[in-house]
A = this chain, B = another copy of it.
Amino acid sequence: MLTLHHLEYSQSFRILWLLEELGAEYELKSYNRDPETNLAPDDYKALSPLGTAPVITDGELVLAESNAIIDYILDSYPDSTLDPAAGHPDRARHLFWYHASPGSLMNLQGIAMILNVLEMRSPWPISKLLGAVFGQARKLFLNPRTAALLDLMEQDLGKQPFFGGDNLTGADITLVYPMYAARDRGQFEGRPNILAWFDRIEAIPSFKAAVAKDDRPHIAFRFSE
């Protein structure tokens, strides 16, 4: 039987939701972050060579990387609408958003995160100087790229209810983590179609079941805590 190693406030929430949506049989092992460092505990880091969440184990197999895990699990559900088949009218849209999650959104969030952390953790007046340097990077590179991506989200979610098209797909499931992280930072103000997507997924029974099993007051990790 497959085991999901779930680290609180991490990208492994995606896999919890996926397994609930599929009605899969699985074992859930939950891990808390270190209360001092906010990092994964040592027994979590020891699970996989990269030390990152999520991780699943299935017999001898240890697998990391969210979308690899989603594809691997969906292999056992070849007729699932979570992965629209080749030729399906929503196929290209699904593929784009499924891969844009790590390839564009998480990538831009990773850069934003490191700049924010460096600025926040430096003492004055270094923080002030970093703010000026990073302000240029944000203005010239990070903000325009992020805005283009969010504008495309807003436009696409105005045409069809889910990132994957007419149905919930793996695209919506893999995007759930960076979308909550972005909403927590107020990035979707003035983008009603995106905000309506949150209402839509929060009404899905499998999402509610995942939230109940996660048993935390919010989904994404918050750096401000």
Contacts of A104 in B (CB 8 A): 50, 52, 65
Task: Please choose the segment from A2-10, A88-96, A214-222 that sits at the chain B interface, where 4 or more of its residues have CB less than 8 A away.
Answer: A88-96
Task: Give a binary string over A78-110; 1 marks a CB under 8 Å from any B CB, 0 the rest.
Answer: 100000001100011001101110111011001
**Would you call A49 an interface residue if the criterion is a C-beta within 8 Å of the partner chain's C-beta atoms?**
yes
**Would you call A66 an interface residue if the criterion is a C-beta within 8 Å of the partner chain's C-beta atoms?**
yes
Copies in the complex: 2
- What CA separation (Å) do A92 and B111 show in the bound complex? 28
Q: Which of A160-215 contact B (CB under 8 A)?
A: none
**Would you call A31 an interface residue if the criterion is a C-beta within 8 Å of the partner chain's C-beta atoms?**
no
- What CA separation (Å) do A99 and B111 show in the bound complex? 19
Q: Are A68 and B114 in contact (CB under 8 A)?
A: no
Interface size on A, residues (CB 8 A): 49
Q: Are A99 and B65 in contact (CB under 8 A)?
A: yes
- What CA separation (Å) do A76 and B122 show in the bound complex? 52
- What CA separation (Å) do A98 and B63 show in the bound complex? 13
Q: Are A122 and B133 in contact (CB under 8 A)?
A: yes
**Would you call A47 an interface residue if the criterion is a C-beta within 8 Å of the partner chain's C-beta atoms?**
no
- What CA separation (Å) do A106 and B137 show in the bound complex? 19
Q: For residue A178, give the distance in angstroms from its CB to the closest CB of chain B.
A: 12
Task: Give a binary string over A121-141; 1 marks a CB under 8 Å from any B CB, 0 the rest.
Answer: 010001001100110010001
- What CA separation (Å) do A15 and B145 show in the bound complex? 22
Q: CB within 8 A of A95: which of B71, B76, B107, B145?
A: B71
Q: With A75-B91, A133-B122 known to touch, is A99 a contact of B98 (CB < 8 Å)?
A: no
- What CA separation (Å) do A34 and B134 show in the bound complex? 24
Q: With A122-B133, A137-B114 known to touch, is A92 a contact of B107 (CB < 8 Å)?
A: no
A-B contact pairs, 5 of them (CB 8 A): A65-B103, A65-B104, A103-B106, A110-B110, A114-B137
A-B pairs with lowest CB-CB distance, top 10: A75-B86, A68-B95, A102-B103, A67-B99, A68-B99, A102-B102, A49-B152, A65-B99, A68-B96, A71-B95
